[in-house]
Structures are given as structure tokens and as C-alpha cells.
Amino acid sequence: MKIKKRLFISNILMVLIPIILGFIISFLTLIIFFISISQNSETNLKNDLNLNNILSKIKKIIEEDEINIKYSNNNLYQQLDGYIDKNKMYLEITKNDKVIFYTGNKYIKNISSENISKFTKNVKKCTISKEDVMLNFSLLSKNGDDYYIFLYNKISDIKYKNLKQILLICIIILSVILSVILINKILVNFVFKHISNPLLELKQGVHRIRDGQLDYRITYFNDDEFKSIFEDFNQMANKLQSSVEIIKKQEQNRKDLLVAISHDLRSPLTSLNAYSQGLLDNIPKTEDDKNNYLKIIRDKTILMDKMINKLFIFSKMDFGEYPYNLEKLNLENEIDEFVNNTKIEFKNKGLNLHWKNNNKNIFIFADPIQLKSILINIIENSLKYKIKDEVNITIKCNCDDNFSIMSIKDDGPGVDDDKLNKIFDLFYRTDISRNNVKNGSGLGLAIVKKSIENLNGNIIAENTKPNGLKFIIKLPLFKENINEKNINN
């Protein structure tokens, strides 16, 4: 479940649950309230009816016979006494301020006569409350005598019942509040843990990358907003690891480059120094010897110049600063022109070029100068490492749906299988001792690979049977819609 959906559900529940619980509280409170009112009304009505009935009978007895009230009507007394005891009341009747009858719990009488007189003066009936006692007062006059009826009723029981009801309502309200808090906490955890846990994983991953564990990746299974973040993190880690590996390789290449340049320049420089010193010391005695010395100096200078030029070209390519003039080329026509222009020169050096134009109209998008440079470097590589008086090179062309496929095969000594993947490395030579500098500087094939890669192609080398080495070059075919825009630009 996505975090957005979790937040939406959580927010809805946070609103709905308090509303539902509020309705429940209101409903329960109303029920308790109406039950309490009903019970109190029934109790009060019952009490009022009983009291009025008994008081009316007492008044009737007083009116008929005021002497010996207690024993004037035994049934009435028993009824009155039982009711008073049951309800923990106290009844007192006075005649002209003299007590003539009382029954019940006298200890609940807590209202002084002065207070009673204050409230009952010129009043025939009233109710007085003090603390937890309620007094019902009635006055009856007969034959000039005043009869006062005092009925004391303890109201603490009523308060206790009300207190229980209030306490029950408070408990309900408190329970609802605690329930809302608990539900909110559950809902917050429901959302927050799906945010905090991925953040902790992401933090741990960042720390591991920071500490150098570039191969660390995060596996995330939930289909939520964090999934794309972890995918981006893993892609970032992949690119960072690749960049670091490239930097390490470039650093190693620079070190190898310095070593190789130092080694490959040392031999011709040593020769230049030796032969120039020989000339200064007049070691060559004849004119022919002097010319040989000068020729060797010239050849070493040319060799160093070629080496430095190739190194310069490769550096420009490596930094992406080498100019490419891309255009639509007919690959077979370009090869045909190259072979016709160079086959005599190469034949004089002991190399025979074999090529047949099949007119397949294979069009590529490339720089014609760089294409010729690629061919020259590969062919010269075969020429340098030939072991016979003559070496034969066969060039063929074909294509598939997306690439042109050009193969350049010689019948030379080939390369050991374990060295095939190294021949395109900078300054690599199969001559491990690197003493035979005239067999190449190790720059030619490195330049070839870099040129082909800059043309969005690739090159591989493989041994052929019974002997020889074949280079397979793939270059993208010309696409009308794509490449024409590049030409216009």
C-alpha cells in the first residue's frame, strides 16, 4: 500500500472515529440521564404520595383527637413508624412548641429551632435544606392550638446516586479520550513505520557508500513511493562504482603511460645521443659512415615524432577533443579508394592487399579521414609483426539491420589467446620485454579502438586457422532520419 493511501485512510479514521465515539458518548449519556430522571421522578413521586398520604392521616387524627396521638391509631402508627425507619427519616410533632410525638433517627436533625422559626414564620408549609438533610414542614391549627409537623429526610443517598451517575459518565468520556489517543497512536504508527523504516535503510545505505562499500545495494520489496527512490539509489551506486573503477583504471593507465613513454623514448634517445656523440668525436672516418650515422639519427627522430604524434592523437581522443567530420559514406567505395591508393606502397613493403567491391551500397555515418586511419593502423600492425617475407591481408564487407561488418584478416603469426583482449590496451605489445621498439609503440591499435568507439562502433580480434589474426569492425549504418539531422546541425 502506498504511503499516500495510508495517509488518506489514517486521516479519514482520525476524523471518523472521534465523531463515532462522540455519538456513542452522547447516546449513552442521554440514556443514563433519562434513566436517572425517570428513577428520580418515580422515587420522588412515590415519596411524595406516601408522605402526603401519611401527613394527611396525621392531620386527620390531630383534628379528631389530639390526645395520645401515638396510640390513637395503632395501624397508622405502625405504618408511619415502618416508613420512617425504612427511609432513615425522623418525624416530630409539636403542640404549642412542646413535643408531643416523635419517631425515627433523631440524630439527623441538624436544623436549629431558630432557623426553623426564621423560615416557618407565617408559613403553613415549606421545605428547608441544610447540608445533607431536608426538612418538610407543615402547620395545622385547631381550637387555637398550633400543631407543627417536622419531617427530616437525609438526602446523601440521593447525592450518592447522582455521584455514581456522574462518575459513570466521566469514566465513559475518559475511556473515549483514551481510545481516541490509542487509535491515533496506532494510526500514526501505521503510517510512520512505513516512512521511518525505509529512511533508516536509506541512511544505512548512504553510510555504507560513504565508507567505501560501493558494491552495497538495497533490496526493497514494497510497492510504494520509496521504491523508485531505492531504484535511483542503486543506480547511483552503480554509476558511482563504475566511475570509481574508471578513475582507478585511468590512474593506472597514466602510471603505465608514464612508464611506457619513458621506456619507449629511452631507446631512441640513447641511440641519438650515442650517434651524435660519435659524430662529434669523429668516430666515422669515411663519408659513407658519416651518412649512416646521420641516417640512423634521422630514422630515430622520425620514429620519436610518429610516437609523439600518435600519443597526442590518443590523448585528444581520450578527452573527447579530437575533431570528427561525420558524413554519409559508401563503405565499399571508401575501401576501394583506399586499396587502390595504397596497394603498391604496401606491396613494396611486403604486404599484399586483397579486396573485392561487391557493390552492396553499405552506407555508414563516419569521418573518412578517421576511417582511413583505422585501416592504416591495422594494416601496419600486421606488417610490423610479419614473420614471412610477405603477408597477405584480405578485407571483406557485409552488414546486418543496424551495423556494417568489416573484417580484416592476415596470415601472420597471430596472437596468443590469453593476450587477445589486451592488444587494444595503451602501449601494450606482445613483445613483453619491449626492446624491439621498431615493431611499434603499442599506440596504433589503442587509437583504432578509441576511434571506432567514438564512431559508436566496436572492434574485436580473433585468431584464425591455421594461422593469422582477424579484426572484426562494426560501425552503425546511416539512418536517414537521425543522421541527416546531425549533418544539418
**What is the homologous superfamily of the domain 3-162 according to CATH?**
PAS domain (3.30.450.20)
Q: Which fold has domain 214-321?
A: Helix Hairpins (1.10.287)
What 3-state DSSP class applies to 370?
helix
Q: Is 145 exposed, middle or buried (0-12, 13-18, 19+ CB in 10 A)?
A: exposed
Quote the pLDDT of residue 354.
92
Q: What is the DSSP string of 374-410?
A: HHHHHHHHHHHT--SS-EEEEEEEEE-SSEEEEEEEE
At 410 the pLDDT is 92
**According to the model, what pLDDT value does residue 434 have?**
37
**Is 442 in a helix, a strand, or coil?**
coil
Identify which of 439, 456, 308, 272 has the alpha carbon closest to the alpha carbon of residue 370. 456
Strands of 120-183 (E only): list them. 125-130, 133-142, 145-154
Determine the Cα–Cα distance for residues 148 and 121; give it in Å rounded to an integer. 12
Q: Give pTM, 2 decimals.
A: 0.47
pLDDT at 396: 92
Does residue 444 contact residue 377 with C-beta atoms inside 8 Å? yes
Please give the pLDDT value at position 67: 45
What stretches in the chain show pLDDT beneath 50?
Answer: 40-46, 66-67, 71, 432-439
**Domain residue limits, the chain:** 3-162, 214-321, 323-488
CA dist list (Å): 19 to 9, 15, 25, 181, 189: 15, 7, 10, 14, 21
pLDDT at 445: 85
Angle at 280 between CA 279 and CA 281, to 5 degrees: 90
What lies within 8 Å, CB to CB, of 16 at 6+ separation is: none
Q: Which residues contact 120 (CB under 8 A, 6 or more apart)?
A: 126, 137, 139, 148
**Distance (Å) of CA 157 to CA 40, 103, 163, 174, 198:** 12, 20, 10, 25, 61
For CA atoms 366, 385, 319, 308, give the dihedral sign: negative
State the residue for C-alpha cell 651524435.
Answer: 276
Q: 47 vs 108, 137, 142, 156, 479, CA distance in Å?
A: 18, 15, 27, 16, 109
Residue type, 93: I
Residues 62 and 49: their CA atoms lie apart, in Å, by: 20
User: 323-488 has which CATH code?
Assistant: 3.30.565.10
145-176: pLDDT as tens digits = 778 888 887 765 555 555 666 777 777 777 77
Q: What is the pLDDT of residue 113?
A: 59
Summarised one tens digit per residue, pLDDT across range 256-265 is: 667 766 766 7
pLDDT score at 33: 61
d(CA 293, CA 283): 10
pLDDT value of residue 39: 52
